[in-house]
Amino acid sequence: MTDSWANEASGEEPAGERAGSGNRQPTAVTVGADLHLELRGPGLRTGLMDALREAVRNGRLTPGTRLPSSRTLAADLGIARNTVADAYAELVAEGWLAARQGSGTRVARRAAPRTRAPSGPQALPVSRRPAHNLRAGSPDLGSFPRGEWLAAARRALTAAPHEAFDYGDQRGRVELRTALADYLARTRGVYADPERVVLCSGFVHGLTLMAQVLAARRGSAGARGGARARARAVARAVAVESYGLDFHRSVLTGAGLRTPALAIDEFGTRTEELTAGRGGLRGIDAVLVTPAHQFPTGAALHPDRRAAVVDWARGAGGLILEDDYDGEFRYDRQPVGALQGLDPERVVYMGTASKSLAPGLRLAWMVLPKVLVGEVIEAKGEVAAVPSAMDQLTLAEFISSGAYGRHVRSMRLRYRRRRDQLVEALAEHAPESRVTGIAAGLHAVVELPPGTGERPMIDAAARQGLALQGLSGFRHPSVPPGRDALVVGYGAPTDSAWAGALAALCRVLP
C-alpha cells in the first residue's frame, strides 16, 4: 500500500529535512520504549497522530504509559520536533494524551473501548475462578522465600564466572550438580556423584528424556537382533502405578511404550507382580514408582516391596524410575530413604523443586546410572534444554548456604499444622469420612461414605468456590472403579486463606 509523505500545508517541515520526502512508502520505526509505528496519511503530523491513536485503541499503548519526549521521538522518526510537539498538543486537547509539568506526556487514563459480547449459540459461559485451590500437588506459593532467594541470587551473580553466561554443559551447571549431590546424599540417602546428575526443566522434561532413551534402546535392540528381536521389541513397556497422573502415562505412550498398571494397596505399589510377569506385565523394561509417598493414595512402599522391585531390576535387567516428588515432607514417621540408595546402577532418581519451592522455577534433576548419562545427554540434543544458568547458580547458593534446608523444615512444620487441622475438622464435621495417606506429602485422601459419589461432592465444592479432585480421576484406564474418595490438597492456600478453605470443605462433606 502506497501513501504520500507530502509536506504539511502549514510549511512547518523544513525543506530537505527528509530527503525525497514526496510520494514514499510508509516507514516503520521504533520509538521510545520499543514502540512500533507506521505513519500513514496525507502529512507527517496527521500520520503521527493517526498512528498514536491506533496504538492506544488496540492496547499497544496502555493508559498511563509515558511517551518519548518530543525531541527524542522527532530524532527517532527523522522529522521536525515542532511536528511532534504539535501532534502531542492536539492529542492532549482531544483527550487521548495527558501532559503534566515534570512528568512528560502520557497516554490518558481513558475508559477502554467497549466490545460487544458474543450472542447466540456462539457465546461461551463465563467461568469463575475458584476462591480456594484444594487440588493435590500444589505448594503454598505465597510462602516462597523471596528475600532469601534474592540474597542468594545476588551472591551467585557476584561470584559467577564469565563462562556461566555461555550455553555450558548439557548436564547443567557444575555448582548446582555438586550442591545437589551433597544435599541428596545427606537428606535422602542418594548416591549422587555430580557427574551423574543431569538438570532438566521440570519432572516431565526428565521423564520425556527417559522415555526417549528407553524407546531408542528398544529400537536398537530390534535392529541388532533381526526379525525375532524386533517382534519382542514391540512388546516393551514401562509399568506404572494403578493410580497416578495421566500426563505422565501420556509421555511414555507418546514414545511408543506400553504402560501396564501395577496394583496398589495399603502397603504401596505391589511390585512383586513384576516378578510374576502375568498378563500385561510381561516384557517390562522399566517401572515408574513413587515409593516415598505414592501419588495420590499416599502409601509408603513397604520395605519388602522395595527389596522386591530392586531384585526384579537386577534379575531382569530392568530400570526403576523413582519419582521422589515430595519425599522431604514427612510428619508421623521416620525418614524413608530414596530407593536409589539400594542400587544406584538400576534406579534413576528424579527430583524437583516444584513442591519444596515453586513449580514456576522449572528446576528438576535426575541422578542416573553411570551407563545412562551419555544416552540422556544425547537425547537432549544439540541445544540442551536446561533451566536458566542464573537460576541454577542461585539454587546452588541457596542450598549451599543452608537456606534451602531451613525453608524445607519451616514448610514441613507449616504443612503439618494444616494437615492436623484438616484431620481434626473432618473428624468433627464429617465423621463418616475416613482420612488416609497423611503421613507425608501435601494432600490427604478423604474416603466418602458409601453411596455418596465423587461427582456430587466435586460439584457441591465448586458451588462453594472450592477446586477439588476425585480419586477416580487418577485411575489407570485399565483399572476397574474402586472406592469413592476426594484428594484434598492442603498445600496451595495461603495462611490467611486456609481457614476459609477448610470451613468451606466441611460445609460440603456429608
Amino acid identity for residue 170 in this structure? Q
Contact 76, 67 (CB under 8 A): no
Q: What is the CATH number of the domain that holds 412?
A: 3.90.1150.10
- Alpha-carbon separation of residue 63 from 33, 54, 103, 152 (angstroms): 15, 13, 14, 36
Percent of the chain with pLDDT over 90: 59
Question: Residues 358, 390: one domain?
Answer: yes
Closest CA to 482 of 230, 231, 261: 261
pLDDT digits (tens, 9 = 90+) for 83-107: 888 988 888 888 899 988 777 889 9
Q: Which of 405, 429, 463 corresponds to the end of one domain?
A: 405
Q: Which of 83, 107, 131 corresponds to the end of one domain?
A: 107
Question: Residues 58, 79: one domain?
Answer: yes
pLDDT digits (tens, 9 = 90+) for 200-258: 999 999 999 999 999 987 655 544 444 444 433 333 899 999 999 999 999 999 999 99
The distance in angstroms from the start CA to the end CA of the chain is 68
Question: Residues 370, 502: one domain?
Answer: no
pLDDT digits (tens, 9 = 90+) for 369-402: 999 999 999 998 754 567 899 999 999 999 999 9
Q: What is the pLDDT of residue 5?
A: 32
Q: What is the pLDDT of residue 19?
A: 37
Q: Which of 107, 135, 167 corresponds to the end of one domain?
A: 107
Q: What is the pLDDT of residue 493?
A: 94
**Which grid cell sits at 187?**
537428606
Measured distance CA(112)–CA(114) in Å, rounded: 6
Name the pLDDT band for 350 (thresholds 50, 70, 90). Answer: very high
Exposed (0-12), middle (13-18) or buried (19+): which is 194, by Cβ within 10 Å?
Answer: middle
Is residue 114 included in any domain, yes or no?
no
pLDDT digits (tens, 9 = 90+) for 412-461: 999 999 999 999 999 999 999 999 999 999 999 999 999 899 999 999 99
pLDDT digits (tens, 9 = 90+) for 15-38: 333 433 444 444 434 344 556 777
Kindly give, in sequence order, each residue whose CB lies less than 8 Å from that of residue 31, ignoring residues fewer than 6 positions away: 37, 68, 72, 73, 76, 77
Question: Residues 166, 304: one domain?
Answer: yes
Contact 479, 418 (CB under 8 A): no
Contact 235, 282 (CB under 8 A): yes
pLDDT at 179 over 70: yes
pLDDT digits (tens, 9 = 90+) for 44-77: 888 888 888 888 888 888 898 888 888 888 888 8
pLDDT at 124 over 70: no
Closest CA to 385 of 197, 202, 201, 168: 201
Kindly give, in sequence order, each residue whose CB lies less than 8 Å from that of residue 168, ignoring residues fewer than 6 positions away: 384, 386, 389
Question: Residues 258, 337: one domain?
Answer: yes
Percent of the chain with pLDDT over 70: 84
Mean pLDDT of 111-131: 53
Specify the pairing of strand 28-31 against strand 35-38: antiparallel
Kindly give, in sequence order, each residue whose CB lies less than 8 Å from that of residue 17, ignoring residues fewer than 6 positions away: 78, 79, 80
Exposed (0-12), middle (13-18) or buried (19+): which is 498, by Cβ within 10 Å?
Answer: buried
Structural domains counted in the chain: 3
